[in-house]
Structure 1
Amino acid sequence: MTLSPGTYIIHDTDLDWILSYYTGTDRIGTWQSNGAADQKGWYVKRYPESSMYAIQSIASKKYIPTGLDGTNMRGAEEGDAAVFHLEHQFKDFYLIKSIGTDVYLNHPNVKPNSRDSYYPSSFTKDTPKGCFWRFERISDDAGSSLKPKADNSEPVSSLSVPQPVVDALSSQGSSNLRTDEMHFYTDMLFNMPRTPFIWTQRIAALDWARKLGAPNVPTMESYDEYERRLESALRSKNNTSQNE
């Protein structure tokens, strides 16, 4: 289930404390609910034509940064904001995964010292139960729109969508469907073996293609339609072979 952009209160799933950006000392962590201005919530924003998110504090207008070590971490401007996948678990529970680093926003619930009334948040490589967050939707307001995310690490001129893939995905009723065409596209992006991709990996591949500036990137709906027609063609071929 994809999370719709909007205003959310984000709770940890252990104590039901609230993820907050404490503007007084630039701390990001979880506090008990107290109705303070710092607990107005977060704008959960989605990048255009993407399933990637950034999370902005309503109180400070700062974003969760790419690095978060549990100490007085300052928020980031949009250009330095962490980019997340929100991985749905069940109901309104999600994992908050930082793209490109394979780390998750965690709430270890270990106070830095006995005088502090909050628990610092951090990123962790593992995915323990403590990584779950509950997103309580408040409104449709997601604040200002995000700018498309650019990546200058690779030249975009060398990347294009193979025409056989575009033709196969866009044409209706085509019988010339090959699984290699889809895997060739993902190989080109990631240099990965030609093994079946799960649904979320395919979303990531399409997002990465758009991020690198590839033209005419197909949608997941196109892939789903492609697979339906491929399965239908394979069933038809198998039935023909059995009847011979």
Structure 2
Amino acid sequence: MSLSPGTYKIHDTDSDRVLAHYGEGKITTWPNCEDEYAKWYIKRYSGSSMYVIRSIQENKYFPSSMSKTNMVWVEENDAAVFNLDHQFRDFYLVKLIGTKVHLEHPNTAPSDSRVYTPVNLAAKDAFKGCFWRFEKISDDAGSALAPRAGASTSAPPEPQPSLLPSQGSGRLYPDDAHLYTDMLFNIPRMPFNRDQRIAVLDWARRLGATKVPTIESLDKCERQLEAALGGSNTNREE
């Protein structure tokens, strides 16, 4: 499902903070609000699956690279071109076209001295911290984009995205059930403990859900995922 152009708020799915601009054009996450600095035009090149993201307050765009440790907005000519890969409901991955570089939200709370947290562009094979929820406000996408080389009006149909890599590329999840169960248990700031996980799985079976993983199969899946990620995910609880 491709995203229709318009005005959006873009939520960090982990905390429900929203993308906003701060100071001299820094792109950050901010507590959920209705202010203009937390709203964005999602603009698509005609006839393609290529998107750019523009502030509704300023004629400034998401960049394609970091400025040291910050994302700082740029002019239209230098704007990043993204694929917005639909996952489920209104959740998307924001990926620089032709790369593995994704827009990533932080997994740490802001310090006491600041309200905002910076976001990042990072090359990733696993998508922890990369899911964004797009909340549409209106169909207004601002002014038309200038023609751009490579943004063809005769682009091929957009392939359906998948979070399940083929076996040849190193599959991280055995099936969709393990993927979405892992997301349920580990995306929150306070991951489910083992007793809570067992209770939720049992509750799902009692309600008649099919393809509910066993706790043992989920443990195995998580061990394999930890190995693939080099043990970098410190939020998981054994």
TM-score range, shorter chain: 0.5 to 0.7
Cα contact 1:43–1:58 (8 A) shared by 2? yes
**Residue pairs, 1:35-184, within 5 angstroms:** 35-39=34-38, 41-68=39-66, 71-110=69-108, 113-126=111-124, 127-151=126-150
Q: In structure 2, what is the equivalent of residue 203 of structure 1?
A: none
TM superposition shift of 1:59: 1.7
TM value normalised by structure 2: 0.60
Cα contact 2:63–2:78 (8 A) shared by 1? yes
Cα contact 1:110–1:120 (8 A) shared by 2? no
TM superposition shift of 1:136: 0.2
Cα contact 1:97–1:105 (8 A) shared by 2? yes
User: Deviations along 1:173-207, whole A, 9 cap, x unmatched?
Assistant: xxxxxxxxxxxxxxxxxxxxxxxxxxxxxxxxxx6
Cα contact 1:69–1:123 (8 A) shared by 2? no
Cα 1:70–1:21 shift into 2, 3 Å: farther
Q: Which amino acid aligns with 1:79?
A: N
TM superposition shift of 1:33: 1.9
Cα contact 1:20–1:38 (8 A) shared by 2? yes
Cα 1:150–1:91 shift into 2, 3 Å: same
Q: Between the two proteins, what is the percent identity of the paired residues?
A: 53
Q: In structure 2, what is the equivalent of residue 17 of structure 1?
A: 17
Q: In structure 2, what is the equivalent of residue 30 of structure 1?
A: 29
User: Deviations along 1:121-144, whole A, 9 cap, x unmatched?
Assistant: 001111323100000000000001
Cα 1:141–1:108 shift into 2, 3 Å: same
Cα contact 2:49–2:155 (8 A) shared by 1? no
Superposition CA RMSD, Å: 2.3
Q: Distance in 1 between matches of 2:139 and 2:33?
A: 23
Cα 1:112–1:33 shift into 2, 3 Å: closer
TM superposition shift of 1:72: 4.5
TM value normalised by structure 1: 0.59
DSSP 3-state at the match of 2:72: coil
Q: In structure 2, what is the equivalent of residue 158 of structure 1?
A: none
Q: Which amino acid aligns with 1:36?
A: D
Unaligned runs of 5+ in 2: 159-238
Return the structure number with greater helix share. 1
Unaligned runs of 5+ in 1: 152-206, 212-216, 222-244
Q: In structure 2, what is the equivalent of residue 229 of structure 1?
A: none
Cα contact 1:104–1:131 (8 A) shared by 2? yes
